[in-house]
A and B are shown apart, each in its own frame.
Chain A
Amino acid sequence: DSGVTQTPKHLITATGQRVTLRCSPRSGDLSVYWYQQSLDQGLQFLIQYYNGEERAKGNILERFSAQQFPDLHSELNLSSLELGDSALYFCASSQQGGYGYTFGSGTRLTVV
């Protein structure tokens, strides 16, 4: 167990639907990062939250949104899903000023 918990591990849904991916960071870590890993795009940074505030944004589609709650867990919301959104979604967390990043085991999303 890496200390970062992602749920669910697998998700199969239809096009046009909306899903929520959840991430609980390692204890004490204030930063949460979301990544999308697909075969054609590799590992792409989506968004970062630090202590509840959005800190950095990457290649995140407008159909996607995220937030970090007061207890520091984070949720990534994906809406109007398309076949191309099928991917492995990772959450990672890190400490303030630290250099280590801990990844969760990922959520494998399949859009059919």
Chain B
Amino acid sequence: AQKITQTQPGMFVQEKEAVTLDCTYDTSDQSYGLFWYKQPSSGEMIFLIYQGSYDEQNATEGRYSLNFQKARKSANLVISASQLGDSAMYFCAMREGYGNKLVFGAGTILRVKS
């Protein structure tokens, strides 16, 4: 079974608008972490935001926020005020327990239109 599911292969958003990238996960662990990474066309993996399973507040980092719904096992990334530079592939990932590997979803390609 897929541990991380990203159902949107591609998304378009108008510049300056907000966009939500979906991510659902599957785990039986009580302790886990959820991550979002950005991969621009240059290829590097850029860490965006982290949410721990015990965190009560949704994580925020600048224009990025994570809409964490534990009961639904979803961890959607919200990008506010989209910029042209946000055009990239976005990956959702999960770590079960501590010190363990990250498991990645298939990714969502985001294109920001001017």
Chain A residues near B (Cβ < 8 Å): 2, 31, 33, 35, 42-43, 45, 48, 50, 55-56, 58, 88, 90, 92, 94, 96-97, 99-103, 105-106, 108
User: What are 7 A-B contacts with C-beta separation under 8 Å?
Assistant: A35-B104, A56-B100, A56-B101, A88-B43, A100-B50, A101-B35, A105-B43
Complex: chain A residue closest to B44, CB-CB: A105
Tell me the minimal C-beta distance from A39 to chain B in angstroms. 11
The 10 closest A-B pairs by CB, nearest first: A103-B45, A43-B104, A45-B101, A105-B44, A42-B106, A99-B33, A48-B101, A106-B43, A56-B101, A33-B101
Chain B residues near A (Cβ < 8 Å): 33, 35, 37, 43-45, 47, 50, 52, 91, 95, 98-107
Collect the chain B residues with CB atoms within 8 Å of residue A97's CB.
98-99
Given contacts A42-B106, A43-B104, A45-B101, contact A99 B44 (CB under 8 A): no
Tell me the minimal C-beta distance from B30 to chain A in angstroms. 15
Collect the chain B residues with CB atoms within 8 Å of residue A58's CB.
101
Do B101 and A42 touch (CB < 8 A)?
no
Bound CA–CA A35/B95 (angstroms): 14
Do A43 and B91 touch (CB < 8 A)?
yes
Complex: chain A residue closest to B100, CB-CB: A56
Collect the chain A residues with CB atoms within 8 Å of residue B107's CB.
42-43
